[in-house]
A and B are shown apart, each in its own frame.
Chain A
């Protein structure tokens, strides 16, 4: 495409200005970018790919619901490490979520491993080569994480593990860019229960650009709870890429509960025969919040399976979007896919649901459905007729709507953790009793 006719999404930021900002950021951050973390060749290749991809275009279907206006002012270079690391740690400690019993914990503060808040587990397994997946324009901001990441949780996991990764943001004096990163490889047959949380506040006009990549070797399984509960001003880009070998099973639950603007690009690649993914996502938005999700699932081998339950609530003037494309390639006969997308509207909120299915082979079972609407009046009246006030009734019904996804989490600890986080978001203290 000719650069001259491009119309980038963030109105105030031209393509040329974007490129210049990235080059400046690399110069500014050069001393911070640890070559041991990722080789310089990988970093510069990633930067070049990001430069070539540029900003998403207005008409790009993959990006049309994202609110990326903040890219016009957000920085890319990570902030220098704290002069006073203890202050960061104290600040972060206050923002840490409660510990989950039986989980090993690694904490990263402003993109850097915080040993004082973590268990004695080395964040980087030196025996493991960097896990840098193939990325496309859909995962384009992952390249910028490759280029700018300051630390990583890089683990090669065998046996049965329960692990919690907490990425805490704390405000510094100036707008900062954080590039939280995880690279996890499961050994054949391994089992991982993973909780990944993003919380805190990076400060006004800051950028949080997450990249998480997982590789599930043959026969391994992973249950993954991702919770985003960042402060209300946060601006988030998120890239998740998961690759599955034969018979590997992946269960993803995404809780998108915070931030001012969040864009999550997720790609699940079912490379191995018999591999499968179950995806549950819940997004709750109010005020001016925009939560955009783009999910790509590729069935690349026979007998691969994928089920999706995606639920979004948009209140006030908020926007929630779920775009989910499933592609079943020619070799993936005997595969099955189910997509269920639902939106719940309150006030002048908007929910955009876009299930898409592309099938290039026979013998596939596939279904998809998408519905959006306001609270059911009969349900509401039933609760009012039992004496509940309007606010409680709304909370109860929103809870019921979201629980449809959450109740499918197979691990009880993850399910309870998710429910606890959701209760806070539904904004109804009474709903917490509904758990008992």
Chain B
């Protein structure tokens, strides 16, 4: 399998604090990776850096995506190149129609690929079908972006966006947090429906429970800004039983 995302010795600072201290990670096309770790380990920082959020200073290392220098691309171009970040805390944008944002995002990517804008009626068909898949009432499509949504509804809306945009690489930052068991299943099914040989997924999570529903190919433990250990799905189960402390102790 070819490498979709290649991170080499990535060091990142925020203000005076080093939040990532030498990350190495290879994600091949078609793979599902899980990045686990305790709070404050750098999981969200890694997601943000990959998506191009301002405020992070790259002090060393490289990130290659589709054979290109990812860090040289502005955030909007990363998105149009098929990189999707599912936010841990999706923002509310009151008064701006949810469907509008979906269509604007999709058309931005299509224009980037040299395609024309999607037909408005075809688009609505697609979005309605995806919303049904996420068990979201159609009224969510005409409401403001995440406006007044519950925590779980916001997470479903992130997955809905992902389903519509069909990214090449999706980084899902704690998409399972704040979900009840039914919502977790819906979110997991949404993620699974996008699994394919052409697409890679990186699940960033604190807990094992999402991984009961979305089986990862590889699991990495991130702590103190480094990947301490990588393995198969069994590593996630071991973490669930033993917690993170034993790894931190062996690392120290």
Residues of A within 8 A of B (CB): 376-379, 381-390, 392, 396-397, 399-400, 402-404, 406-407, 430, 433-436
Q: Choose one: A387, A399, A436; the contact of B105 (CB below 8 Å).
A: A387
Docked-complex contact A384 and B52, CB < 8 angstroms: yes
The reply to whether the CB of B91 lies closer than 8 angstroms to some CB of chain A is: yes
Complex: chain A residue closest to B74, CB-CB: A384
Nearest-neighbour CB distance to chain B for A220, whole angstroms, equals 31
A17 to B222, CA, bound (A): 77
A366 to B35, CA, bound (A): 51
The reply to whether the CB of B134 lies closer than 8 angstroms to some CB of chain A is: no
Docked-complex contact B94 and A381, CB < 8 angstroms: no
Complex: chain A residue closest to B90, CB-CB: A382
Q: Choose one: A387, A390, A434; the contact of B96 (CB below 8 Å).
A: A434
Q: Choose one: B76, B80, B96; the contact of A399 (CB below 8 Å).
A: B96
The reply to whether the CB of B200 lies closer than 8 angstroms to some CB of chain A is: no
Chain B residues near A377: list those with CB within 8 A: 54
Docked-complex contact B95 and A399, CB < 8 angstroms: yes
A377 to B75, CA, bound (A): 13
A430 to B93, CA, bound (A): 16
Docked-complex contact B104 and A433, CB < 8 angstroms: yes
The total of chain B residues at the interface (CB under 8 A) is 31
Nearest-neighbour CB distance to chain B for A209, whole angstroms, equals 34
Nearest-neighbour CB distance to chain B for A376, whole angstroms, equals 8
Q: Choose one: B79, B87, B104, B161; the contact of A430 (CB below 8 Å).
A: B104
Chain B residues near A396: list those with CB within 8 A: 93, 96, 101, 104
The reply to whether the CB of B97 lies closer than 8 angstroms to some CB of chain A is: yes
Complex A-B, nearest 10 residue pairs according to Cβ-Cβ distance, in ascending order: A403-B95, A387-B108, A387-B79, A386-B105, A384-B75, A434-B100, A384-B76, A387-B80, A382-B91, A400-B95
The reply to whether the CB of B53 lies closer than 8 angstroms to some CB of chain A is: yes
Query: CB-CB contacts of B100-122 with A at 8 A, as 1s and 0s?
Result: 11011100110010000000000
Given the known inter-chain contacts A404-B95, A434-B97, please indicate yes or no for A381 contacting B54, CB distance below 8 A.
Answer: yes
A377 to B56, CA, bound (A): 14
* Interface pairs (30), CB distance under 8 Å: A382-B87, A382-B91, A383-B101, A384-B74, A385-B76, A385-B79, A385-B85, A386-B105, A386-B165, A387-B76, A387-B112, A388-B76, A389-B108, A392-B108, A396-B93, A396-B96, A396-B104, A400-B96, A400-B144, A403-B94, A403-B95, A403-B96, A404-B94, A433-B103, A433-B104, A434-B95, A434-B100, A435-B97, A436-B97, A436-B100
The reply to whether the CB of B51 lies closer than 8 angstroms to some CB of chain A is: yes
Docked-complex contact B108 and A385, CB < 8 angstroms: no
Chain B residues near A384: list those with CB within 8 A: 52, 74-76, 79
- What would 8 more interface pairs be, CB under 8 Å, given A387-B109, A406-B95? A381-B54, A382-B90, A382-B93, A385-B85, A387-B105, A392-B104, A400-B96, A402-B95
Chain A residues near B90: list those with CB within 8 A: 382
Q: Choose one: B74, B87, B94; the contact of A400 (CB below 8 Å).
A: B94
A430 to B117, CA, bound (A): 13
Chain A residues near B105: list those with CB within 8 A: 386-388
Docked-complex contact B95 and A386, CB < 8 angstroms: no
Nearest-neighbour CB distance to chain B for A183, whole angstroms, equals 35
Chain B residues near A403: list those with CB within 8 A: 94-96
A49 to B7, CA, bound (A): 76
A400 to B85, CA, bound (A): 22
Docked-complex contact A386 and B53, CB < 8 angstroms: no
A165 to B97, CA, bound (A): 32
A406 to B96, CA, bound (A): 12
Chain A residues near B96: list those with CB within 8 A: 396, 399-400, 403, 434
Chain A residues near B52: list those with CB within 8 A: 384-385
Nearest-neighbour CB distance to chain B for A176, whole angstroms, equals 39
Q: Choose one: B79, B97, B99, B144; the contact of A386 (CB below 8 Å).
A: B79
Name B177-221 residues within 8 Å CB distance of A.
Answer: none
A379 to B108, CA, bound (A): 18
Q: Which of B75, B94, B99 has the most CB of A within 10 A?
A: B75
Complex: chain B residue closest to A397, CB-CB: B93
Docked-complex contact B76 and A389, CB < 8 angstroms: yes
Nearest-neighbour CB distance to chain B for A22, whole angstroms, equals 45
Query: CB-CB contacts of B66-83 with A at 8 A, as 1s and 0s?
Result: 000000001110111000
Complex: chain A residue closest to B89, CB-CB: A378
Chain A residues near B101: list those with CB within 8 A: 383, 386, 396
Q: Which of A376, A385, A399, A430 has the most CB of B within 10 A?
A: A385
A143 to B84, CA, bound (A): 61
A436 to B141, CA, bound (A): 11
Chain B residues near A383: list those with CB within 8 A: 93, 101
Q: Which of A382, A389, A433 has the most CB of B within 10 A?
A: A382
